[in-house]
Structure 1
Amino acid sequence: MIRILRKIITTLIAESRGRGLYYTVVMNLSHAVGILRAYLNKLLYFNNIKSSIFSLQANSRIEAFSKHARIDIGKFVFIRKNASIRVDHHGELHIADKVFINDNCNINCVYRISIGKNTKIAPNVSINDHDHNFKHFTDEHLIMGEVIIGENVWVGSNVVILRDTVIGDNAVIAAGSVVKGNVPANTLFLNKREKSYIQYA
């Protein structure tokens, strides 16, 4: 316990020197409020959420809309502003330790989504483990699949990750990519883009 307190004090002193005392206090108050919001969400969905200490910043929300929904959040997960995490039906969402989820991200889970430890997710990322059954191949309303994101993955801004996707450890997903299928570990994934100009007048 003393070692943890010493580390906290050392970190605060270092932050104060770099940012200034005022901004360090404001930033850490924001973190404290985020942790409080996280615990309020955990109380609201006490049957669904299993977690350690994590932070849920302003206007972000976690919703569980089924008694079967399961949400497992690891230590020191940080979810920034305006993120929406929704788990429905028999969905299982696993977010491992020290995952960072940036502003305006959407995670929609009705089957299974897993995010490995130390993964960083940039703003405006959308992760879905299902599609709407618009072709009506079956009587089911949704077509479900699994999304597995490995450890130490970097997901760039405005990425869309679709069902039946596995992203290996240490992979980097380039900004604006649409991902479906397997992404090997230790690779950079990007959708090829070609500029084209069509004369209309």
Structure 2
Amino acid sequence: MFNVLKKIWNTIQSQSKERGIYITFLMNLSHVIGIIRAIFYKLLYVKGMKSSIFSLQANSRIEIFNKKSKVRIGKFVYIRKNASIRIDFSGQLDIEDYVFINDNCNINCVNRIRIGKHTKIAPNVCINDHDHNYKGEDRDHLLRGEVIIGENVWIGANVVILRDTVIGDNSIVAAGSVVKGDIPSNTLYMNKRENKFVHYPAKVMRDTV
């Protein structure tokens, strides 16, 4: 505990020199409020959620919809604003230490999702371990799988991660990618993009205005 407090104090001193005392105060006040919100959710879901110290910023929420659902959140996880984390059925969500989740991210877990230590997730990322069974071939309306994200992974903005995906340690997923399947460790993954231009006479545009 002493080492943690010492680290916090040193960080505040460093921030004060770089940002100014007032801005540092506001920023750390936001962190404190985020920790209080995280404690609230831990108390709300006392049976389904295990966690250490983490921060849950404004308008972000954790929803556990089933007594079989379990969530574990490691120490110093930081979840920014407007994130939605939902766990249902027998879902097992494991967010390990020092994970950073940016604004407007969505995590939907009905089976298993694990996010490894020191992984950083950019804004507007969507992670799902299931699909809807639109073919209706059996009673279950969901097709369930797993999403395993390794340690020290960087997930770019607007990425969609689908069920049955494994992302190896130290990998980077480029912004805007759709991911399904295995990504080896120490790999940069990106979807191929092609620009397509369709030209039309100016008269067509004038007629539609």
TM-score (norm 1): 0.97
Letter of the aligned partner of 1:42 in structure 2?
Answer: K
Structure 1: gaps spanning 5 or more residues:
none
The aligned residue for residue 170 of structure 2 is: 170
CA spacing shift, 1:164–1:2, aligned 2, 3 Å: closer
The aligned residue for residue 93 of structure 1 is: 93
Letter of the aligned partner of 1:109 in structure 2?
Answer: C
CA offset digits 1:5-41 (Å, max 9, x no partner): 3332222111100000000000100000000000001
CA offset digits 1:20-76 (Å, max 9, x no partner): 000000010000000000000111111111000000000000000000000000000
Count residues in correspondence: 201
The aligned residue for residue 24 of structure 1 is: 24
Bigger CA radius of gyration = 2
Letter of the aligned partner of 2:35 in structure 1?
Answer: I
CA shift at 1:102, angstroms? Answer: 0.1
Q: Supply the distance in 2 between the matched residues of 1:150 and 1:176 (Cα, whole angstroms).
A: 19
> Greater CA deviation, 135-144 or 150-159?
135-144
CA shift at 1:189, angstroms? Answer: 0.3
Find the residue that maps to 1:181 and give its secondary structure: strand
The aligned residue for residue 42 of structure 1 is: 42
The aligned residue for residue 51 of structure 2 is: 51
Q: What RMSD over aligned residues (CA atoms) do the two structures have, in Å?
A: 1.0
Q: Supply the distance in 1 between the matched residues of 2:2 and 2:47 (Cα, whole angstroms).
A: 34
Does residue 121 (structure 1) correspond to residue 133 (structure 2)? The answer is: no
The aligned residue for residue 135 of structure 2 is: 135
Letter of the aligned partner of 1:88 in structure 2?
Answer: D
Letter of the aligned partner of 1:93 in structure 2?
Answer: L
> Greater CA deviation, 42-51 or 5-14?
5-14
The aligned residue for residue 207 of structure 2 is: none
Letter of the aligned partner of 2:28 in structure 1?
Answer: N
Find the residue that maps to 1:37 and give its secondary structure: helix
Q: Supply the distance in 2 between the matched residues of 1:76 and 1:4 (Cα, whole angstroms).
A: 11
TM-score (norm 2): 0.94
Find the residue that maps to 1:124 and give its secondary structure: coil
CA offset digits 1:91-144 (Å, max 9, x no partner): 000000000000000000000000000000000000000000001122211000
> Percent identity at matched positions?
66
Runs of 4 or more, structure 1, over 6 Å off, are: none
Q: Supply the distance in 2 between the matched residues of 1:122 and 1:2 (Cα, whole angstroms).
A: 32
Letter of the aligned partner of 1:140 in structure 2?
Answer: D
CA offset digits 1:127-182 (Å, max 9, x no partner): 00000000112221100000000000000000000000000000000000000000
Q: Supply the distance in 2 between the matched residues of 1:17 and 1:198 (Cα, whole angstroms).
A: 54
CA shift at 1:3, angstroms? Answer: 3.8
CA spacing shift, 1:163–1:3, aligned 2, 3 Å: closer
